[in-house]
Each structure stands twice: as structure tokens, then as C-alpha cells.
Structure 1
């Protein structure tokens, strides 16, 4: 029952923004900027590009505020919007520099995401990080969105532009692959 008022508040905030309320726009920016920046940084590994894309996204949002549709939850929309801008900027860079644009975005899950402080936890964090490196870029992305950004499968499907069942399959395959990798490491440590 607690989620309904929060959901309603988000809808009201979005409606105020669409009506041109600068305070609502600033609140949307403040509430989402750091998560969006972390997501962009993990996709691009480039702070400047991440900042530029977020700036462009919010600028474009403000310019199109009256034309945007009403949303129950705008957070997945922001992630998807940012992802598309980031992909466009990377493609543009590839065209300008002549580099191959066949490369996927590679989500970089940093080791410090897992470090909590003590040696015991550091050891486990290192192993999880190694397991994440074994994942494909798409698998890393859905794992990040699911477990670090706390998006639900439907929202992940919207952000990553793949269907719902594919998201569920990717998360499941990713966790299975990580589990197998970690079990292999445990086996190596024992023997």
C-alpha cells in the first residue's frame, strides 16, 4: 500500500514538469542524476561523455516537456532516453573517427561497487567482480539494472529495448553463469 502514494506522487511530479514547473523539473533532476550518471559511466567508461549525455537528455526533456506522454513511472523512461542518447553519441563518434561501430556498449561493473570494508567481504567482492567480467556486455547491463538500479523486468525491457522474456532469460543466464564461475573458483581454491 505504501507504493501507491509514492507512485501517485511521481505521476503528479511528472505532470507538473510537463506543465512547465521548474521546481518539478529540478526535483526530477536531483532525484535521478546520480543513478543516471552511474549508469552512463558504466556503459561508456567516460565521465565527460556521461555528463554530456545527461546534460543533453535533461535539456531535450525540458524542450519537449509539453509533448511528452504521461507516465506512471518515469524512471525507466529516463534510463532508456539516456541509453539512446549515449548510443547515438558513440555512433556519431565512430562515424567521425572512422572507428568500427560494431562494438556493443560494455557495461563496466567496478570492483569498488562490491567493496564493503573487511578482508572477508573484499575477497568475495573480488570473486563476484571476476564473475561479472565473464558476462557479455548485454548480460552486465541487465544485471546492473536489476540489482544496482533496482528496476523490475518490465522496466529493464523498456530501457534496454529487448522484450520482457529476453530480459528474464538474460538475468537468469547471467546469474547461472556467475554461479558456475564462482563454483569453479571455489573448486580451484580447494584443490
Structure 2
């Protein structure tokens, strides 16, 4: 509730034309927006352009925007829609970047923090990234939204334009596939407790 109230106050200040509030919103979420963008498309320029368009749009239309108690959810949903619209203009189909987790060091850190892993073998994180990359693009996107960014199944359903049960099924299948990979790969038992906790959420 405290975070929601803080978001509401910051958003209200931004809508009132407070440039510092706008700068705070940008600073607070730009890294996460870039990270999430790679789950929607592999086109880095499209991601950058879409984020620029998004922030320009909300500043120019700030007085007419709906109120929100979750700035993060508002921005993620808006970015996903904008990437899809911009890609359609260029006759491109957005797709997940299957190498994003392996290529981007910040995503290693985010994923490691999200699942609270104990120290494991030196190559464990590379194997984890490989396991995630074996998932479908929609499974990877749902996993990231749920466990890296903390969105609820209801919020993910709205963002991905799916119903709640479909999102839960998607997450369940993804976690089951990851657990199967870890169980058959050997030497990765350190990940299993975290995955079991995931499946129960």
C-alpha cells in the first residue's frame, strides 16, 4: 500500500507538470523497460525508439492520462503495446531475443536476485540462461514479468492480452520445463528449491 501511495503521489506530480517527477519516473524504470523490451523484440533500435516515443507521449499527454497506483505496470503495458504498433508499421513481427539472458549481464543479476540462489557451480548461471532460452518466447516473457519484475498473474494477463488461467498455465508449463531441465542436466540441484517455490506461487 505504501508503494502504491508513493506511485500515486509521483504520478500526480508528473501530471501536474513537475519535471523532476517526470525525470524520477524515467530514472526509476528505464533499465527495467530496456530489459523487458528484449523479451518482446530482438530489435534494439525498435526498443529504444519505442521507449523514447512512450516517454514523449506521456509527457505531452500527461494531463489527459488516467491515474495509476502502479507506474511500473502502466509503463510496461504501454511499452509492449507501443513496440507491437511500431513493429507493425515496419512490417516486422516482434519476437523474443533468445540470447538476451546470456548476452546481458544485468539480466543475470536480476534473475539471480529474483530466485535467491545460493552459490553454485561457476557455470550454473550460463546453464540457467540456456534453460530459459529453451522456453517459448511467450513463456520467457511471462517468466520475466512474474519473477523478475514481480507482476501478478492478473497484470500479466492484461499486458499479454490473455486470460488469467492461460497465464497461470503458461507459467506452470515454463516452470515444469525448467525443473525438468535441471533434473536431467545433473549438478544443478541448487536451483530446484527456488523453482518449487515458484510453482507454488
Partner of 1:82: 79
Aligned length: 175
Q: CA deviation at 1:159?
A: 2.0
Question: 1:34: which partner in 2?
Answer: 31
**Cα distance 1:105–1:135, how it changes in 2: closer, same or farther (>3 A)?**
same
1:137 aligns with: 137
Choose from 69, 93, 110 the match for 2:101: 110
**Residues 107, 141 of structure 1: 8 Å contact kept:** no
What stretches of structure 1 of length at least 5 have no aligned partner? 95-100
Distance 2:32 2:108 in 1: 16
The 5-angstrom pairing of residues 40-189 of structure 1 reads 40-94=37-91, 103=93, 105-108=95-98, 109-111=100-102, 112=105, 113-114=107-108, 120-186=120-186
**Structure 2 residue ranges without an equivalent (≥5):** 113-118, 188-201
Shift of 1:185: 2.1
Taking the aligned partners of 1:104 and 1:45, their CA distance within structure 2 comes to 7
Runs of 4+ in structure 1 off by over 3 angstroms are 112-116, 119-122
Look at both structures and tell me which one has the larger radius of gyration over its CA atoms.
1
Superposition TM-score, scaled by structure 2 size: 0.78
Q: Give the Cα separation in 2 of the matches to 1:104 and 1:36.
A: 16
Say if 1:75 and 1:37 are closer, same or farther in 2 by CA, change over 3 A: same
Shift of 1:57: 0.3
- Give 1:17's aligned residue: 14
Residue 40 (structure 1) shift: 1.1
Structure 1 residue 48, shift from structure 2 partner: 2.2
